[in-house]
Each structure stands twice: as C-alpha cells, then as structure tokens.
Amino acid sequence: MKVAKFGGTSVASAEQIKKVAAIVAEDQDRKVIVVSAPGKRDSEDTKVTDLLIQLGETVLQKGEAEKELQEVINRYDDIAEGLGLGKDIIATIEADLRERVQFDLSRPESFMDLIKASGEDNNAKLIAAYFQKEGLNAIYLNPLDAGLYVSDEPGNAQVLPEAYEHLSKLRQREEIIVFPGFFGYSKEGTLVTFSRGGSDITGSILAAGVKADLYENFTDVDSVFAANPKIIDNPVKIKKMTYREMRELSYAGFSVFHDEALFPAFRNGIPVCVKNTNNPSSSGTMIIAEREYFLNPVIGIAADEGFATIYVRKYLMNREVGFGRKLLEILEDEGLSYEHMPSGIDDTSVILRQEQLTDEIEERITARINDELCVDDVYVERDFAMVMIVGEGMHNTIGISARATAALTRANVNIEMINQGSSEVSLILGIHASDADRTVRELYQEFFGGADETVQ
C-alpha cells in the first residue's frame, strides 16, 4: 500500500487535478490520497489558504465577508468547471463555507482553524467527485470519521497516540480514500490544524497509521536538490538521503518538507519518495533510514535567516556552577526558545529566532542578565543567518570543517559562530544575513562544483 500526498501546486487547477487522477489510476497500490488546498496557478496567483485567511480575518473584524467568500467559491467553481463536474459539488462547498463563517467568533483561534482547514477539506470533496466521474472507486473521508485525533492546540495540533489505531483500519478499505490534509479533531470534536505546511504531516501520520510500504510526496520539482535553485543554477539532484539529513535541511530552510513532517514515517521505518506531479516518471528522491555515504559525505547545503544572538561575557564563567541554567531560566521566563548555545571559558552566546525578541523583551532580559548574573558585558546583535552543511558521512571524513572555512575565506565572509552537532550530521556556520547567498554559492562550489547531475 502507498500513501500519496499532493501539494498545493499539484491540485491548483483542473489541469493539475487531471494529472493527479492519472497518477492514481496507473498504480493500484496508491490507496490513500492526501490533498492540500489549491495553491498558486502562476506566480501572480493567490493560494486558496491565503484567500481563506483573508476571509476569516475580515469576518472577525466586520462580522461578514461576502466578497471574500465569493472569491473562494469562484476558485472552486473554476476547477469544477474545468473538470466537467456539475453544480452539485459547488453547492456543497458553498454550503460548507457559509456554515463555517457562522461559527462562534468569541473563539477566534478555533474560528480561524475552521476557516483555513476548509481549503483542504473542500478540495478533497471536489477531487473525490472527479475521481468517481473518471470511474475510480474513490471516496472522500473526513479526518473525524477516520479517527485522526489531535491535541486541542489551535494552529499547532499534535497527533494523539490512539489516532494510529483508528487509522490502521483504513488498510481494510477497498476504495481509494481521498483525505484532506492539514487538520484533525480533538477528542471533544473540535477541528484543529497542524502548523502551516501541515498536509505533509497528515500524509506522514496516515502512512504510519496504515503501515504503508511507501509514502509518496508529490510536488512541483523532480527531486530534492543539494542547494536552493533560487541561489544555485541547476543544482545537483539528490537521489537518496536519510531522514536525519532531510530533517536537518528542512530546519535550515529547505522548503520541500515541513520540518516535523517526516517524524511519524521515520519512527515507523516507512521510506518517503519525493516526486513531481508534472513528471511522474522521474525517480525522484528517496528518503530512507540509512544510505551509503562514502561517495559524497555532504548531501546538501541550506541557509536560513532571521536569527539574533545574545552575547554574554563574565570572567571565570566556566567555574560558576549553574550559570548556564540561570541564563536559560531568564529566557524561559520570557517564553523564548533557543537554537544554539556555543560557549567559551569566559563567554557564551545564545542564538534564537529574532522574531521572538521584541525590543521590550530584549530590554528586560539584558537588564536581568546584568542584575542577576553580574556579568561583565551583555548585548544583542540581530540579522544573522545560519548556514548548514549536512551529510551522514561527515563524521567519517577528515577536513570538512577546513574546506568550509576555506571556502568562506575565499568569499570574504566572516564566521560569527561555528557549531557541529553531537550527531555530526551537520556543521552550522553563523554569519551575517547579508552574506548568506554568497556563502551558499561558495560552499556549493567547494563540495559539489564537479559533481554529476545527481548525488546519492
């Protein structure tokens, strides 16, 4: 059995959904189909999810949003017309949307979850109707009916363990199941969404639940690339990579997967294949538990911006018992999470996402660090980027760090921080955000300059 998830660009129009139907029809093992909301049809277009966010926010502000509601209905109407479906499916979608906007507005977070999730939910209904029209034995299945139970955390749902037992029963169904991504239900029956990009999470959960032989993630690229194609012209394609490598690269800005998406599949040993809806014959990228890495210790390079660093200096810091704990407690009191914490004997740096660090919070924590820890100096710098070099083979290969620092020297880029995780799957370089693209180009040239079209 295969679980196949189709992303927003794969289901953005009637033409794309026809491709999806052909892909499903050609392989009878594709039994569970997870779909996103319609994405952009072109670079000037707007995703349905963004239209729904605008709809929900307008309802919260004004109590009604007929113009915005009609814009969403029109998108589905265009798709249905292109697929030769009758008006019944659009009447169903319109009735659903009008019912959702009547939800209790005194619970705005739950209201917004309900509105946003309609993108995937109604697209699944429409796609199931088209599959049936094309002669496929397909049904739409709502996550509540399937037993996809999650924690009641609007916008950040976590799957509950008992959900897997319910989902395992789907393996016995004869039909092709069309399942909306992005949301589940609390035990009390409240709709709750995963974090954005969560259709990937739904697909991974379902693959784990039915114990699929393969989880296919269809998108608009032939494979995962060794670097961002927006920065590197024609980067090499990755043929095979491990779950850990994908997780590290997702964290550092790779946009193929939400960075939590693979965990259910990983925990259950289910391989994942990234494939292209527009070129399904391409082998794609296989994400597996282990791979041979002697040919290429480095699998990819990624960069992510938007970091700030809190620098703390105190003479004999290394001899003060509990200093690190007290420092992190101050951040905890402000609800801040940190990413890295490289240290010396008299200084330490705490690196965190700067979106968490408002001017008021920065002022409070620097004052507390000064007063409570009696430091010699504390200050904050913003606008850093983290560049990540990733590969399972790095820990058995001499000279990776030397090659990386030499590349940055050639690019005239100053390294503010260097950190290698205990797993030795990644090497992280902290630099100024303005140097990020130049750094990725130089590192790519160093590690992949003479590589073939694919790397494995």
Instruction: At 10, give phi and psi (nearest 5°).
Output: -75, -20
> Is 8 part of any known ligand binding site?
yes
CA-wise closest residue to 71 among 48, 92, 90: 48
Domain formed by 2-220, architecture = 3-Layer(aba) Sandwich (3.40)
* Separation of alpha carbons 289 and 211, rounded Å: 16
Beta strands of 148-299 (E only): which ranges? 176-180, 183-185, 191-193, 214-219, 224-225, 237-238, 240-242, 272-276, 285-288
Q: Where are the domains of the chain?
A: 2-220, 300-455
Strands lying side by side in the sheet with 426-432 = 347-353, 300-313, 377-390, 426-432, 417-420
How confident is the model at residue 101, as a pLDDT? 95
The CATH class that applies to domain 300-455 reads alpha beta
How confident is the model at residue 416, as a pLDDT? 86
What residues are paired with 157 via a beta bridge? none
How confident is the model at residue 290, as a pLDDT? 80
> Is 120 part of any known ligand binding site?
yes
367 Cβ contact list (under 8 Å, min separation 6): none
How confident is the model at residue 442, as a pLDDT? 94
How confident is the model at residue 195, as a pLDDT? 85
CB of 6 closer than 8 Å to CB of 36: yes
Listed as ranges, residues in the chain with pLDDT below 50 are none
How confident is the model at residue 456, as a pLDDT? 53
Tokens of 302: 């990624």
CB of 417 closer than 8 Å to CB of 349: yes
How confident is the model at residue 315, as a pLDDT? 94
> Is 200 part of any known ligand binding site?
no
CA-wise closest residue to 324 among 344, 353, 308, 295: 344
> Is 49 part of any known ligand binding site?
yes
Instruction: At 302, give phi and psi (nearest 5°).
Output: -140, 160
